[in-house]
Amino acid sequence: MSQLQSLRGMVDLLPVQTRRWQAVEAVARTHFRCAGIEEIRTPLLEVTDLFARGIGEGTDVVGKEMYSFRDRGDRSCTLRPEGTASVVRSVVQHGLLSQGSQKLWYCGPMFRYERPQAGRQRQFHQIGVEWLGVGSARSDAEVIALAWDLLRDLGVSGLELQINSLGTIDDRQRYRAELVAWLQARADRLDPDSQQRLTTNPLRILDSKNPATQQLLAEAPTLLDALSEESSQRFQAVQAYLAQMEIPFRLNTRLVRGLDYYGHTAFEITSDQLGAQATVCGGGRYDGLVQQLGGPATPAVGWALGMERLLLVLEAAAAADPEGAAARLAATRAPDVYLVNRGEQAEAVALVLARQLRAAGVCIELDGSGSAFGKQFKRADRCGARWAAVIGDEEAAEARFLLKPLHNKGEERCLAMADWQMVIDILACDESDITTATQFDQQ
RNA sequence: GCGGGCGUCGCCAAGUGGUUAAGGCAGCGGCUUGUGGCGCCGCUAUUCGGGGGGUCGAAUCCCCUCGCUCGCCCCA
């Protein structure tokens, strides 16, 4: 294929998609506004060291998935693989924490050099929330609720919230030793990958997909049992808050998460509609990160939601229930008026009329083909417009135009060009008649 | 990085060695040079992701390559 095409794992979003994306983003913005969360936008490119220090040198994301290169000034730069490190860097850099706690959200592309598969691309998009300077167990629950409610209002079903506590660094170190000892005694029953991780990253063995390993793990000591009294109580409190909000969750003691900065509450929201990459939203508490990146000791929680995965789930939901909220998100609105025009004079006049009506908020499709009236009407009909406005040489010469209903009752009217504003009233009377097309095209 | 599946028109898709590569959708044009929705007619791939090899002859067989896709690793 010598045809130019997009890079592997980098996909175009065509109008069929952008429609839904915009709808999702709009709902998210509303939720954030109601929760007093403000948007932050940070650069896509950062100094490599930010991610190496923030996410953790030993993680896969840093070890083998970053898009890094040297710029012309010989600085090592990296396309952000996630949002949290950048947000923390920005907040620290601008001293925002001196003004109190920060509730922020962001959205945009992230980059990870991985093999693409269902629900995974090299450029993918996240909507994320970061709360800096809030350390209570209640804030964990509040932040989780935010994600849960957003997904609910989008009309997504079949979701499961899984939570776990990773405790403090001390808790984890103690548990790690305990787990390694226990597994080492049974190393022969572990799959090769897990045996490898016994030395590199033992906690990761917990969420291995190998069935035999999982079976073995069922009897292994759990992180939850290894938590200190304080950590344990904190986690109990988070669960109690979730219960009070009637948000269903499942305790998953194997949930670890691959980024080093997490501690205490960790959670994921998964969908049964996705393939192997079932996590739609993931997050947790990261109390040490701000200080680690040079800021004041500051507790923090947050999550990130994968847009591509969310959209996959949404499409499934819309297909399953064409009347549901998810399907309504993709509703397209046909133009209010299709402007049929033909003839030199008429075309000029039509342009002016279209501009006037657009400025007044009317959605107008101006036919630019110059083809026969019959053709233009055919297109008008097919695009689903409720009205056609018609300007030919006769109308242009007499400074008037026709307004004709296409598939609803109503009279064809002849209006003077100067009375163009009447169109707005005529359309308004027709409002009750709106039928929104809920077509969900397959990708 | 490693494994499996797949690549025929903008989209869906038949064709699995033999003269001109079905069909559907969309698009464009016509029947209908100023009035649509239905219908009918016509047009739209010298070419089957790309390259090479064998064959009298290939989209169909072999090799290489590129791409897509699903899974592993890991994550959203």
Domain holding A396: CATH number?
Answer: 3.40.50.800
Nucleotide with smallest C1' distance to residue A276 CA: B71
The answer as to whether A298 is a domain residue is yes
Nearest nt by C1' to A2 Cα: B50
- A307: nt with nearest C1' to CA: B76
Residues A284 and A154 in one domain: yes
pLDDT digits (tens, 9 = 90+) for A73-85: 999 999 999 999 9
Residue A382's pLDDT band, with cuts at 50, 70 and 90, is confident
Q: A271 and A139 in one domain?
A: yes
Phi, psi of A318 (to 5 degrees): -70, -40
* Domain end among A298, A327, A356: A327
What is the nearest nucleotide to A3, using C1' and CA? Answer: B49
Element (H, E) at A389: strand A387-391
- Alpha helices in A295-432, H assignment, sequence order: 307-320, 325-329, 344-359, 373-382, 393-397, 422-429
Same domain, A136 and A270: yes
- B49 C1': nearest CA residue: A1
Whether A239 and A148 share a structural domain: yes
pLDDT tens sequence across A106-117 = 999 999 999 999
Task: Give me the numbers of helices (H) and strands (E) for chain A, helices first please.
Answer: 17, 16
Q: Cβ atoms within 10 A of the Cβ of A232, count?
A: 16
Bases of strand B lying below 7 A from some protein CB: 1-3, 7, 27-30, 32-37, 49-50, 66-76
Is A234 found in the same domain as A135?
A: yes
Q: What is the ipTM of this complex?
A: 0.85
Instruction: Quickly give A14 CA vs B10 C1' distance in Å.
Output: 13
- Do A82 and A151 fall into the same domain? yes
Q: Is residue A351 part of a domain?
A: yes
Same-domain status, A304 and A346 = no
Residue that is last in its domain, among A269, A301, A327: A327
Nearest nucleotide by C1' position to the A207 CA atom? B74
Domain extent at residue A154: 15-167+227-327
The residue-averaged pLDDT of A371-384 equals 90
How many Å apart are A82 CA and B36 C1'? 51
The C1' atom of B51 and the CA atom of A1 lie apart, in whole Å, by 11
For A172-229, the pLDDT digits (tens) are: 999 999 999 998 888 888 888 788 888 878 888 888 888 888 888 888 899 999 999 9
Residues A323 and A352 reside in one and the same domain = no
- Domain identity same for A381 and A311: no
| Residue A164, pLDDT score | 95
The per-residue pLDDT for range A33-89, each reduced to its tens digit, is: 999 999 999 999 999 999 999 998 888 888 889 999 999 999 999 999 999 999 999
**Mean pLDDT score, A98-103:** 96
Instruction: Tell me which residue of A127, A124, A110, A112 sits closest to A37, measured CA to CA.
Output: A127
Query: For the domain that residue A139 is a member of, what is the CATH number?
Result: 3.30.930.10
Q: Residue range A149-170: average pLDDT? A: 93
What's the domain count of chain A? 2
CA to C1' distance (Å), from A12 to B35: 39
Distance A54 CA to B55 C1' (A): 62
Same domain assignment for residues A96 and A163:
yes
Lowest mean pLDDT, pick from A58-72, A130-144, A242-256, A429-443: A429-443
Q: Are residues A266 and A397 in the same domain?
A: no
pLDDT digit string, tens, across residues A313-354:
998 888 888 778 888 887 777 899 999 999 999 999 999 999
Residue A207 belongs to some domain of the structure: no
pLDDT band of residue A431 (cuts 50, 70, 90) is low
Asked if the structure places residue A88 within a domain, the reply is yes
- Spanning CA of A430 to C1' of B33, the rounded length in angstroms is 34
Q: How far is the CA of A276 from the C1' of B62 (A)?
A: 36
Q: Assess whether A46 and A91 both reside in one domain.
A: yes
On the question of pLDDT at A275 being above 90, the answer is no
